[in-house]
Amino acid sequence: MNWAALDPGLLAWPLAAAALVLATHLPLGREVLARGIIFLDLAVAQVAGLGILVAASLGWPAAGWRMQAAALAAALLAGAGMRLAERRWPAIQEPLIGSVFVLAASLGSLLAAGDPHGSEQLRDILVGQVLWVSPTQVGTAALAMLAAMAVWWRWRRQGWAFYLAFAICVTQSVQLLGVYLVFASLIFPALAVRGLAARAALPRGYAIGVLGCVAGLAASALFDLPAGGVMVVTLACAALLLARRRA
C-alpha cells in the first residue's frame, strides 16, 4: 500500500474530470432511464471511440483538433441515427442501439488489429487513462459540455436537443474516462435514485458519484491498480450503499 501516491497534485485533475462528467451524466442518465434506452451511452461512446481509432489510423495526432472532430462527428452521426430510430422504429430502438454498439466495437477491433499500437489505443478507449488527464483536456471538455447542456435546457422539449447534448457530452467524457466508466457514471447513480423527484434525486445521485469516484481514485493510487476499472467497481458499491430504499 503506497500512501505517498495519495498526492493532491496527482489526483486533483482526475477528480476534476470525474466531477465534470458526473455533473452532466446524472441528468442525462435519468433521461436515458426515463426513455428506456439504457445502452444508448455504450453505443454512442463506442462509435465516438471508433472515430478516434479511424483518426489514429490516418496518423492524426491524439491532441489535435482533427482527432476531436472525428470523434465528435462519429458521435453526432450515432446520435442522429438513434433519434431517427426513436421516431420511426420505437418498438425496436433498444435492439438497434445494441446492434450499433456491437458493429462499432467490431469495426474498432478490426482497425486496432492492423495497428501496432492498436491494442493499447483500444484499451485506453474502453478503460480510460483518467490519472493522466490534463488541465487543457478538462477545460476543453467543460466548455463543450456546458454548451451542450445549455442547448438541451433551452430546447428540452425537442427530442433532437437531448441526442445532440448526449453525443457531445459522451464524446468528451469518453476521452477523459473511457467507455466503461462513462457507462457506470451515467447509469449507476441514476439507477440508484430512480423514482425520486429531481430535488431529492440530484443531491443523492451526486453523493453516490462523488463517493464512488473518490474511493476509486484513492484505491487505485494506494494499490497501484487501473483507475478506470477500480472506479467502476466503487461506483457500483456506492450506488448499492446509497440507493433509494423502496417502502
Q: What is the 3-state secondary structure (H, E, C) of 52-119?
A: HHHHHHCCCCCCCHHHHHHHHHHHHHHHHHHHHHHHHCHHHHHHHHHHHHHHHHHHHHHHHHCCCCHH
Residue 8, pLDDT > 90, answer no
Q: Look-up: residue for cell 477523459?
A: 176
Q: Which residues does 24 contact at the CB level (< 8 Å), separation at least 6?
A: 145, 148, 149, 169, 173
Distance CA 28, CA 38 (A): 11
- Give the angle 29-209-149 at the CA atoms, nearest 5°: 45
At 142 the pLDDT is: 94
Q: Which of the four pLDDT bands, split at 50, 70 and 90, describes residue 204?
A: very high
- Between 211 and 112, the higher pLDDT residue: 211
Using alpha carbons only, give the angle 101, 103, 104 rounded to the nearest 5 degrees.
Answer: 65
What pLDDT, in 10s, does the model give residues 23-38? Answer: 999 999 999 998 888 8
Span 71-116, pLDDT tens digits = 889 999 999 998 998 889 988 888 999 999 899 989 988 888 866 6
Summarize pLDDT for 116-169 with one digit per residue, the tens: 666 677 777 777 788 888 898 899 999 999 999 999 999 988 888 999 999 999
Average pLDDT in the chain: 86
Conformation bin of residue 95: beta by default, left when phi > 0, alpha when psi is -120 to 50: alpha
